[in-house]
Structure 1
Amino acid sequence: MIPHVQLPGHAAGWTSKDRAAVAVDLGRSFRRTGFVFVHNHGIPDDLIGDVYSETRRFYQLAPAQKSLYDATEQSQFLGYRGLGRERSRIHGGTEACEQYRIGHTTEEATLSCAVDFYHGPFPKSLELLAHLTQLGDRTLAACALDLGLDEDAFTPYLIGSPLHRLGLNHYGASYPAHGGSAAGYAMSPHIDLSLLTILDQDEPGLEVRDRDGRWLEVPMVRGALFLFLGDYVQRWSNGRHRAAPHRVRRVERDRMSIQYKHRPDYGVVVRPLDVLIGPQEQPAYAPLNTGRDYVAVLRSILGG
């Protein structure tokens, strides 16, 4: 069963009392499942609808036009990932979807042209990115409070150029036949290399795995957003907060999803925090560099 939490409106307006209450409600879900539907988030429905319209217009472009925005290491992986571009890490084929990424960049890596080029087709998506960044910040603060830390405990890891990203994804009903995968899903099971992910979908397809190993379909819930934790919070908390394995099954109708990933600054090394390792415990996770190690993963699935 997927838990549901009522938020106190838009994250920008939360009081200290609100933040403490949210920490209790979200913390309960993060410890048990790592995923939750959030209601009353305050992000306008019409803005989310506008982002779907932008996404639809882009994916209706001719292949040659879409390929102008091709995502490479030199674009810091912003831009377009065409069908068959992303290799699966668990089977021999590719993922059966098209993807586009907008978001923040870092001065510590090459950027082949102005970031505005990649953002050009998506002005409404940039507005949504700002709203989701506020919700991501408040959610991360709730994680800290639930773990017994100060609510700003994780802020130092996001004060430079946090690499928050918004993914605009398209899963075509005919795509599995062209993606090179014999698997029964359109996106392979994985855990996000992020702090947390916030997602909306216009058709069912997302599935999430619970603690008992069961795959649960994530339904479409009007007005709610689906929020789940990624690898980095699980590492920081030494497993107290659970990252959510998820996948996308083969879809029967064309499907789009809006997928926001909240990330720290480039090059932050994420390891279990000493304060969260009990006297009889050992670190359950190795350190991971969110710059070098993360780029190596993207190279392996996308190439340069």
Structure 2
Amino acid sequence: MASASTAFTSLPLIDVSGLYSDKSSDRIAVADRLGKAAREVGFFYVTGHRVDGEMRARLLDQTKRFFAQPVERKMDVYIGNSTNHRGYVPEGEEVLVGGKRDKKEALDLGRDLPADHADVVAGTPMIGPNQWPELDGFREDITAYYDAVFELGRRLLTGFALALGKEEGFFQRFVTRPPSQLRLLHYPFDATAEDVQGFGAHTDYECFTLLLPTAPGLEVMNGEGAWVDVPLVPDAFVVNIGDMMEVWTNGQFVATSHRVRKVQEERYSFPLFFACDYDTVVAPLDELIAPGDAPRFEPIRAGEHLFAQTVQSFTYLRERLARGEIVLPKNAKALSSFGQAARHDAPTGKAGHG
């Protein structure tokens, strides 16, 4: 596998079934492969997981039902009606750099927390209840999928800990009630869209992402600034490192820029953005800083980074910001601060994540 600073041309495929093994040697073997992929590419396929096919099929069926509704029905759960960034995202709500319209619609969901939960009462951004559409079985099927993929994310987190020389549970204390978002994404069919941007180049703001796509279109940028296609692999998730894991590892793990291009067929995509708890202060681990060197990153409060990037990406939030209803956290980073696209000074059109 080529270094992240060179032109890798494909993504590694990792069977993670060993992470479920009682044998530590099996778990360590998978962790070694995860660490290699995270350092050298920042993107990889995952097979051997336990998110079964019937659950994935129900997710797709329910998603198709939702997006097939008239726009006015979908707008019943418009994200702008939410106080915690949950709900329907119509096409154009996420605006790319230069004002380009984003060719997708979405339903953004997360872990439901009741109104009397301490984090909700405290007004913690990105935390709280979902807006659920009134479709039979929708909430149950989507929640079951969320729980299964989140559990897969926990397994990967143990592997990343081992890959960094930590004990398996090192990161688990940071994921007790994270704002981990599940997006149901729909890229409509457009026969004229041979070279139309479906979603601009970006990195993901959280620790890592578990993506289930239904059609081609995803591309990742290698270390030389070239775009590499990510073809579909049956029964596989696509996993990519996010900003927080790049910071934690002092840049050893790579948050790789990616985009959706050339959407020539109807496409659905399901990323779960695996976050750590909102108030987690993420800073480079001491042992990953070479003696005599300064850390490559300043400490970042994980939730504040996520919130700041989201505010800068969504029209309704930028309008709230302009009216003084919300404020950006201090030291908020500008969009496109991570990833190869930023390092190559490429036009990214970063518009959130998905």
Counterpart selection for 1:54 from 44, 62, 78: 62
Give yes or no for contact 2:86–2:130 (8 Å, CA) kept in 1. Answer: no
Alpha-carbon contact 2:247-2:283 (below 8 Å) kept: yes
Aligned length: 296
Q: Which amino acid aligns with 1:2?
A: L
The residue correspondences of 1:23-172 to structure 2 (distance < 5 A) are 23-72=31-80, 74-88=82-96, 90-104=97-111, 106-107=119-120, 108-109=122-123, 115=129, 117-118=131-132, 121-159=138-176, 161-172=177-188
Paired position in structure 1 for 2:337:
none
Residue of 188, 204, 209 corresponding to 2:221 = 209
Secondary structure of the corresponding residue to residue 79 of structure 2: coil
For 2:13 and 2:289, locate their aligned partners in 1 and report how far apart those are by CA, in whole Å.
Answer: 29
Q: CA deviation at 1:119?
A: 7.0
After superposition, the C-alpha distances for 1:210-230 in whole angstroms (9 at most, x for unaligned) are 223221111111111111111
User: 1:15 deviation in Å?
Assistant: 4.6
Give, in whole Å, the separation in 1 of the partners of 2:45 and 2:80.
33
Return the letter of the residue paired with 1:144. Answer: A
How far has the Cα of 1:255 moved from its partner? 0.7
* 3-state SS of paired residue (2:49): coil
Q: Is the 8 A contact 1:205 1:217 kept in 2?
A: yes
Moved over 6 A (4+): 110-114
Aligned residue number for residue 191 of structure 1: 203
Q: Distance in 1 between matches of 2:22 and 2:80?
A: 38
Cα RMSD (Å) of the superposition? 2.4
Q: Residues 25 and 48 (structure 1 numbering): CA distance in 2 closer, same or farther, change over 3 Å?
A: same
Q: SS of the counterpart of 1:140?
A: helix
TM-score normalized by the length of structure 2: 0.77
C-alpha distance 31-67 of structure 1, shift in aligned 2 (>3 A)? same
C-alpha deviation, 1:293, in angstroms? 3.3
Aligned counterpart, 2:212: 200
Q: Structure 2 stretches of 5 or more lacking a match?
A: 1-9, 114-118, 318-354
Are the aligned partners of 2:196 and 2:263 in contact in 1 as well (CA < 8 Å)? no
Cα offsets for 1:17-72 (capped at 9, x unmatched)? 33212111111111100111111212111211110111110001111110111113
Secondary structure of the equivalent of 2:201? strand
Kindly state the Cα deviation for residue 156 of structure 1 after the two structures are TM-superposed.
Answer: 2.2
Aligned to 1:299: 311
State the AA in 2 paired with 1:154: F
SS in 2 for 1:291: helix
Instruction: Map residues 237-256 of structure 1 onto 2, 5 A cutoff.
Output: 237-256=249-268
Shift of 1:286: 2.6
Alignment of 1:260 with 2:296, yes or no, is no
Q: Hey, what does 1:281 align to over in structure 2?
A: 293
The more displaced of 129-138 and 72-81 is 72-81
Work out whether residues 198 and 259 of structure 1, in 8 Å CA contact, stay in contact via their aligned partners in 2: yes
Does structure 2 retain, via aligned residues, the 8 Å contact 1:74–1:110? no
Q: Residue type matched to 1:191 in 2? A: T
Select 1:5's aligned residue among 14, 38, 42: 14
Q: How has the CA–CA distance of structure 1 residues 110 and 8 changed in structure 2, closer, same or farther, with 3 Å as cutoff? A: closer
Q: For the residues of structure 1 that align with 2:157 and 2:61, how far apart are their CA atoms? A: 29
2:244 to 227, 232, 246: 232
The 10-residue stretch of structure 1 (44-53 or 74-83) with the greater mean CA deviation from structure 2: 74-83
Distance in 2 between residues matched to 1:268 and 1:119, nearest whole Å? 32
Per-residue displacement from partner, 1:221-248 (whole Å, max 9, x unpaired)? 1111111111110000001111121100
Q: Any conservation in 2 of the 1:78–1:118 contact (CA below 8 Å)?
A: no
How far did 1:92 drift? 2.2
CA distance in 2, matches of 1:73, 1:124: 24
- TM score, norm. by length of structure 1: 0.89
Is the alpha carbon distance of 1:123 and 1:12 closer, same or farther for their aligned partners in structure 2, counting shifts above 3 Å? farther
In 1: Cα distance, 2:156 partner to 2:298 partner: 24
Distance 2:69 2:21 in 1: 39
In structure 1, what residue type is equivalent to 2:123? A
Q: Structure 1: give runs of 5+ residues left out of the alignment.
A: 178-182
Contact 2:281 2:299 survives alignment (8 Å): yes
1:14 deviation in Å? 5.7
